[in-house]
Structure 1
Amino acid sequence: MRSQSPPAQGGSLVAWQSATARLLPRMLADRTSGPLFLTARKARSSVAARDVDSSTGRARLSYRRAAEMFEGHTVHYDDGPYTLHQLRHSRLTHAAEDGASMPVLMTLSGQMSVRGLVEYARISDDGLRRFQAESDPAARRPGR
C-alpha cells in the first residue's frame, strides 16, 4: 500500500506494507503535525520547535533511545537482543530472497550503488536453495 498524497517538496514517498498501513491510523489518531514517537518527559528548551509535540510538550524520540528500547524489547528472543541496524539488514535480505529487483532494493535501502547494497542484502543458504529449486528448469513441476 502506498501513501495517497505526493511527497512534500524535499520529502520522500513512504510506501507501507498492508499490515503497517492498517496500524498507522491508530498511531496517528487525530494528529496532523509534529513527531509521532515521543519521549516520556517534557522537552528541554534547547530542543528544536519542530521536534516538539505542541499538544504535550514532549520531544521526538531520538534514534539512540529508540535503538535502546528496541534492543530491550528483543532481548528475550533467540540470539537477541537485536538492533535496528540488524532489522534493516534483515528486511533487505528478505526482500532480495523474495525476488525484489535491484532498483527496488536500492530504493528500499536508500543505497546509491550496488556495492553498498551488497553489504545489506545477504542471501541466506536457505534463500539460495529456495531460489535454485524454484528456478531450476529441469526440476519436476507440480501438475505436469
Structure 2
Amino acid sequence: MDVPGGSEPADALVTVVEAYLDHLAVERGLARNTLLSYRRDLRRYLAYLAERGYGQLAEVTPDDISGFLRDIREGTEERAPLGVTSAGRTLAAVRGLHRFAAREGIAVPDPAIDVRPPTPARPLPKALSLSQVEALLAAAGPSEDPRGLRDRALLELLYGTGARISEAVGLDVDDLGVSADTDDATTRANLVRFRGKGGRQRIVPVGRYARDAVDAYLVRARPSLVSARRTTPALFLNARGGRLTRQGAWAVLRAAAERAGLATRESDRAGGAAPTEATAGAVSPHTLRHSFATHLLEGGADVRVVQELLGHASVTTTQIYTQVTVDHLREVYAHSHPRAGARGVAADDV
C-alpha cells in the first residue's frame, strides 16, 4: 500500500490494513467507492504512524489517535485541513480498523474506542425578517373564502405563538381561552393550550393579530367546513370537515410562500409526502417558529421567557437563538454607540 509522505509503513501495519479492507469487501459487502474512501483514509493514517516510527498497531495509544485527528483537522504544508465531515469519516475508518484488530486479537485493547469524532457545528436556524413575515401572512389567501380565512388563522397562530406545526394542527376548539390561573374572561381569551413533545402541555399568550384571525375563522369559516356526517373538536379543518393534517398545513404554507415570492425548493413543491426539516425550502413551519423566537429576543425578551413560550425542556436548546441575533446586536451597536465608528467622529473629539 503506497502512502503519502517520506516514510514507508511497516509491513505488519500494511498487512492488517489489507486484511481489514478484505473484511469490508467480502464479509461486509461494501461498495467499491466506499472501499476506495476507506483505503484513502487509512493510507493517510499509515503515513502518520510511519512518521512516528510505529511498526505494530498494538503500539498505538489513544493519544496517538487523538493526535492524528488534530493533524488532519489542522492540515500541513502538503495537505489541506479536513472539514468536520471529512475528518469524521476518516476517524470512522481508523476506529473501524482498530475495532477489527482488537476483535482479531492483533491489537488489544482497542485504543480508538473512546476517541470521538469532531462535532459538526449546529446550523443556525433560519429566520424571516418582519417584512417577509408580513408578506407571507398577507398572501395566506382571500378573506372571503373559508379556506383562505383558515389559512390566515393558521399562519398567524404559528408565527404569533411559535407553535410547532404538529401542535397547531393538534389544537381543539376547547384549547382556546384556557387558563388554570385566572378567572378573568378577557385574560383567558388571549391564551391557548398546546400539547408539546412528550405530552407536555403549556399555555401561551396569543397576540391581537393571531387572535383576530382565529376569531374570524371560527365565526365566518369553520361552520362551513364542518361536515354534516361527522363532528370533530379540531380547530383547523380540511375541506372534508376532518382535522387538517400536518401535510395539509405544509401545503398551506408552501402556497402562501410562493404567492409572497419567498423561495422554496423544487423538491418541496413536487408534492407527495410532507417535507422534512432536512428537505424544506427557505420557508417552513419551523421557519416561523425560529422567526418568532428571534424577533422576541431582538425585542429584548429574556431567553428564559422564550424557552417557556417555545416549550423547550432545556434553556440550552433555546440559547441557539441568541446566536442568530448577533448581527442585529452588532448593527444596533454600530448605529448607536458614539465611538462605534458608524456615526463619524464623536463631538468631544473635535
Map 1:103-118; keep pairs closer than 5 Å: 103-118=304-319
Q: CA separation in 2, counterparts of 1:63 and 1:25?
A: 22
CA separation of 1:118/1:103 partners in 2, compared to 1, >3 Å: closer, same or farther?
A: closer
Q: TM-score, normalised by structure 2?
A: 0.29
CA separation of 1:135/1:113 partners in 2, compared to 1, >3 Å: closer, same or farther?
A: farther
Structure 2 letter corresponding to 1:123: T
Q: Which runs of 5+ in 1 are unaligned?
A: 42-57, 140-144
Please name the residue that 1:34 is paired with. Answer: 233
Whether contact under 8 Å (2:303, 2:319) holds in the other structure is no
CA separation of 1:26/1:78 partners in 2, compared to 1, >3 Å: closer, same or farther?
A: closer
Kindly provide the CA deviation profile for residues 95-128 of structure 1, in whole angstroms up to 9, marking residues without a partner as x: 1111100121101211122221133452152x21
Query: Which has the bigger relative contact order, CA under 8 A and spacing at least 6?
Result: 2
Are residues 1:123 and 2:325 paired? Answer: yes
Q: CA separation in 2, counterparts of 1:130 and 1:98?
A: 14
**Identical positions, percent:** 28
Map 1:1-144; keep pairs closer than 5 Å: 5-7=178-180, 11-29=201-219, 34-41=233-240, 58-81=241-264, 82-120=283-321, 122-123=324-325, 125=327, 127-132=328-333, 136=337
Kindly provide the CA deviation profile for residues 1-48 of structure 1, in whole angstroms up to 9, marking residues without a partner as x: xx754158x8532311122222332222287x711211112xxxxxxx
Q: TM-score, normalised by structure 1?
A: 0.64
CA separation of 1:107/1:39 partners in 2, compared to 1, >3 Å: closer, same or farther?
A: same
Count of matched residue pairs: 119
Whether contact under 8 Å (2:202, 2:311) holds in the other structure is no
Please name the residue that 1:51 is paired with. Answer: none
Higher helix share: 2
Structure 2 letter corresponding to 1:13: I
Structure 2 letter corresponding to 1:6: S
Q: CA separation in 2, counterparts of 1:107 and 1:134?
A: 32
Whether contact under 8 Å (1:95, 1:105) holds in the other structure is yes
Q: CA separation in 1, counterparts of 2:335 and 2:201?
A: 39
CA separation of 1:129/1:22 partners in 2, compared to 1, >3 Å: closer, same or farther?
A: same
CA separation of 1:19/1:105 partners in 2, compared to 1, >3 Å: closer, same or farther?
A: same
3-state SS, counterpart of residue 39 of structure 1:
coil
Q: CA separation in 2, counterparts of 1:69 and 1:4?
A: 25
Structure 2 letter corresponding to 1:37: F
| 21-30 or 92-101, which deviates more | 21-30
Structure 1 letter corresponding to 2:235: L
Q: Which runs of 5+ in 2 are unaligned?
A: 1-175, 181-192, 194-199, 224-231, 265-282, 341-350
Whether contact under 8 Å (1:93, 1:120) holds in the other structure is yes
Q: CA separation in 2, counterparts of 1:24 and 1:72?
A: 19
Whether contact under 8 Å (1:39, 1:61) holds in the other structure is yes
Q: CA separation in 1, counterparts of 2:332 and 2:309?
A: 21
CA separation of 1:34/1:111 partners in 2, compared to 1, >3 Å: closer, same or farther?
A: same
Larger Rg: 2
Q: CA separation in 2, counterparts of 1:112 and 1:11?
A: 11
